[in-house]
Structure formats: C-alpha cells, structure tokens
Structure 1
C-alpha cells in the first residue's frame, strides 16, 4: 500500500508568513513593579528572609524554563530586572537552592474588569 503524496502548499502572502515566523521568536516577560520582591518582616526571632517567596519562585521559574545552571539563571534575572528599569537585588544561588526545598508555589490571581491576558505557548519551550 502506498502513502499518499504530502500536500503541497504555495505561499502567496510572504509578508504575513515572514511576520508569523518572526513572532515565533518573540519573548515577553512582564515584571510587575508592584510585586513584593523583598520579604516582609515576620516578627519571629532569628534572621529574616531577605527575598519573598514570589521572587524566589520567579527566579526558579526562569531557571527551569530556560534549563539554566544556577549562576546563569541569576545572570538572566539580573538582566531582566535591569531591562525593566527596576532596582531590585537578585538572590544568590545558595539562597535559591536552599529556599526551593521549602517553597510553596503560588499562582496568584487578581480580579479584573478590563479583561484577561492569556499566553499560550506552542513552541515547545
């Protein structure tokens, strides 16, 4: 039994085709300046956490998303924060490594009447 010949497509809208290929490589990472990057004082004895769980979660997400080593992930996060125009410090790799063991992942949701931005990634990252 023979296989049917694969379909042949002829591109007639090169401008749209090129734009679609460029959009596949687009990367947007939004950092909310209202995000609580530093941990609030908890009132317990002993040294307090410097960075909030949200900041640790963000750094670990970048590390896993791009399959980076610890120091590479820190460098990328520093670059993203600088590009966003924020003056936040970034946790070092030992802080990230230690805190990931006890981190409870939270995905916060805010109610909005203006709509919802939803990103669906189909590139396999």
Structure 2
C-alpha cells in the first residue's frame, strides 16, 4: 500500500483503491448511529422529516453497496 501511494500519489491511490467509497459508507453509518433507534422529534411534521432523513441515509447505503456492472455488447 505504501509503495502504491508513493508511486501513484495519495489522491490517485484513494481513487484506485476505492478508499472514498469506504469513507462515504463509514460516514453514512455514523450518521445513522448518531440518530439512535427512536425518533427524537415531538412534532409530527418534524418526525416526518426525521424519517425522510433516515430513508435517505439507507438509500445511500444501498447505492454504495451496489456493484458497478458493465454490460458488453
């Protein structure tokens, strides 16, 4: 890994190794964990917004977990 970083540079290595995708997944997971298991808002309108945020985070997980498929013609 250190040789690859030295040869490619840190920016290219991160792109080549998929480091950014892992970092995005870890960030999304920490956001979800910080929200806890229960809704914290008391107002029904804010509860709806909180649920929508949770759904957006889960959709991010799904997008990050999907493999990139390449179809050959």
Q: Same fold (TM over 0.5)?
A: no
TM-score by length of 1: 0.25
**Bigger RCO of structures 1 and 2 (CA < 8 A, at least 6 apart):** 2
TM-score by length of 2: 0.35
Bigger Rg, which one:
1
